[in-house]
Structure 1
Amino acid sequence: MKEVKTITSSMLAVLALTNVALSSSAKADEWQFEATPYVWAAANEGSAGAYGLGPNGDINPPPTDIDINFQDLIDSTDLGTMLNFAAKKDRWLLFTEFTYLEVSDQATKSFTGPTGSSSAEIDLEISGTVLDVAGGYQFVEQDRFQMYGYAGVRYMDLDTDISIDAPGGVLPSEITMGDSWTDGFVGVHTAWQFSDNFSFNTRLEVGGLGDVDEAYMAHIAINHQVSENWQIKYFYRYQKVDYKGDGFIYDMEITGPGVGVTYTF
């Protein structure tokens, strides 16, 4: 089903710590702040859906295999918001990120019923929310190179309303599916100011410290300082999330380029 394809990019939306690298011209002993709206052109691949619906606890219907590009996501999106906010003082770093997405779509799903193989027309309405809160500490600073360690908590909430038109009424006409969970993560972030106006940033992150079975993220970025208060940030990110709980499976890989515009104050 294409419904979960669109959920994924809301998630993942997942956390852009490269948005946290603040202007080197600011004074270290004062609070520095950043606000960054951004877009992640994420492709999504994996599986998601319900499980444990069969009489023996088996997967019925099975999770949906997903392979969706960014254009498919844009075509299905009704409302989307992605915003990162960060604060830094001396060696300490705090950041939060909020993502909200509403999507709607239609799909055809094949299934096996009492009379054999058939198909159903499905109308979907989906909403997804992700909230990240984290903090870090700079433990390496040499010339123009910095390294931070960080830790945080991610809250995810997915809700899906499905209307099904199947022959003979062999499937329920209305299904509400979804779940919410929290997960802890730790990571390392590096920043290298290789010229006056450009810096190279990397980030490696490991999750799975809460409700999620496993989670990983790798992120590289180029930050372009276009003026004293403005930056353009170009990044490429890979993210993996594997969750199963309360009748819902979400096992996805999300990857692709993105861009953000940052105001520093």
Structure 2
Amino acid sequence: MKKTLLLPLFGVCTLLSSSISIAAEELTPIPKASSEWRFEVTPYLWAPGIKATLNLGNGLAKSADYSSSNVLDNLKSGGMISAEAHKGQWGMMGDVVSATLQNSGAIPVQGGTATLGDKITLQQTVLTGAVTYTIANTKDAYMDGLLGARAIYATATLNVTGVGTAAKTTSTVDPVVGMKGRYRIADSTWYVPFYGDIGSGGGTTNLTWQAMLGVGKTFSNLIDASLTYRALYYDMKDGGVLQKTTMQGPQVAVTFKF
């Protein structure tokens, strides 16, 4: 009698154990290219430090050197999100960073022999879009090549006490080429995400590049999370607002997959 009861119980336990094992094996941070559509939406928070010279025109320039904490303190508004869609080896991606920073300080003029001041506001929106093609898709690695463009709209406004307001706006679109992907760590649900692109030729921009590297974890077939370090560089010509500008700092992101 006992054997009769134990055999079905053992069978159920074996089946559950096998199901759990199969589920664990199926949970991987590496996406699989297939004929079905797959989508990702990633809201994130990027807190870059900024080093730049803001060209305001009329001989006015503002040297900016903010740490990540300074940027968060001076952030007035912003939004950051990226998204991807894939079918087979082809895909599309888009990324938007929009932020308004405001800070008070002194503005060097006349070769640094005098200063003006009071409040400067930097508004910028950076949009990157690209077509992607999967060039590697193994058990441990996934990599897409990408070809697209990055657009930036930046306005620097200086309010000088007792003098008035000076403002300068730059908008440009630059072609970019690059790659992105992830590498699985030791057959686990942990992975290393990476991204890199470079471009130029938009008329206002001499050079722009972007890079990202970090660590992430897949929690389910629907959710990933990552902590990365991201950098974005712009070297604009004399007429551009952003002169040799580097934005770099930590980024926290959550990816929803469906």
**Corresponding residue for residue 216 of structure 1:** 209
In structure 1, what residue type is equivalent to 2:82?
N
1:31/1:90 Cα in 2 relative to 1: closer, same or farther (>3 Å)? same
Q: Deviations over 1:207-232 (max 9, x none)?
A: 11323101223321222111221111
Question: What pairs with 1:237-252 in structure 2 (closer than 5 Å)?
Answer: 237-244=230-237, 246=239, 248-252=241-245
The DSSP-based 3-state class of the residue aligned with 1:213 is strand
| Structure 2: gaps of 5 or more residues | 1-27
**Corresponding residue for residue 87 of structure 2:** 89
**Corresponding residue for residue 40 of structure 2:** 34
Question: What pairs with 1:162-241 in structure 2 (closer than 5 Å)?
Answer: 162-165=158-161, 172-194=163-185, 195-211=187-203, 212-241=205-234
Alpha-carbon contact 2:47-2:251 (below 8 Å) kept? yes
1:105/1:25 Cα in 2 relative to 1: closer, same or farther (>3 Å)? closer
Shift of the alpha carbon at 1:123? 2.1
The DSSP-based 3-state class of the residue aligned with 2:237 is strand
The DSSP-based 3-state class of the residue aligned with 2:235 is strand
2:135 and 2:189 map into 1 onto residues whose CA distance is 24
Q: Deviations over 1:154-193 (max 9, x none)?
A: 1111123322125xxxxx5121212111111001224222
Q: How high is the TM-score relative to the length of structure 2? A: 0.79
Larger Cα-atom Rg? 2
User: What is the aligned residue count?
Assistant: 229
Question: What pairs with 1:90-169 in structure 2 (closer than 5 Å)?
Answer: 90-112=88-110, 117-165=113-161
Alpha-carbon contact 2:52-2:242 (below 8 Å) kept? no
Q: Which moved more, 1:23-32 or 1:198-207?
A: 23-32
Q: How high is the TM-score relative to the length of structure 1? A: 0.77
Q: Deviations over 1:113-132 (max 9, x none)?
A: 9xx94432322333221222
2:115 and 2:189 map into 1 onto residues whose CA distance is 56
1:120 and 1:149 map into 2 onto residues whose CA distance is 47
1:262 and 1:126 map into 2 onto residues whose CA distance is 29
Correspondence for 2:52 among 46, 53, 68: 46
2:122 and 2:83 map into 1 onto residues whose CA distance is 26
CA RMSD of aligned residues (A): 2.4
Shift of the alpha carbon at 1:67? 1.7
Alpha-carbon contact 1:23-1:264 (below 8 Å) kept? no
In structure 1, what residue type is equivalent to 2:183?
W
1:191 and 1:25 map into 2 onto residues whose CA distance is 9
1:130/1:105 Cα in 2 relative to 1: closer, same or farther (>3 Å)? same
In structure 2, what residue type is equivalent to 1:146?
Y
**Corresponding residue for residue 65 of structure 2:** 67
2:98 and 2:231 map into 1 onto residues whose CA distance is 20
**How many percent of aligned residue pairs carry the same amino acid?**
20
**Corresponding residue for residue 19 of structure 1:** none
In structure 2, what residue type is equivalent to 1:248?
V
Shift of the alpha carbon at 1:234? 1.3
Alpha-carbon contact 1:38-1:82 (below 8 Å) kept? yes
Question: What pairs with 1:15-30 in structure 2 (closer than 5 Å)?
Answer: 24=30, 28-30=34-36
Shift of the alpha carbon at 1:106? 1.7
Alpha-carbon contact 2:53-2:245 (below 8 Å) kept? yes
1:228/1:141 Cα in 2 relative to 1: closer, same or farther (>3 Å)? closer
Shift of the alpha carbon at 1:203? 2.4
Alpha-carbon contact 2:62-2:107 (below 8 Å) kept? no
2:96 and 2:232 map into 1 onto residues whose CA distance is 17
The DSSP-based 3-state class of the residue aligned with 1:72 is helix
1:41 and 1:103 map into 2 onto residues whose CA distance is 12
Alpha-carbon contact 2:32-2:137 (below 8 Å) kept? no
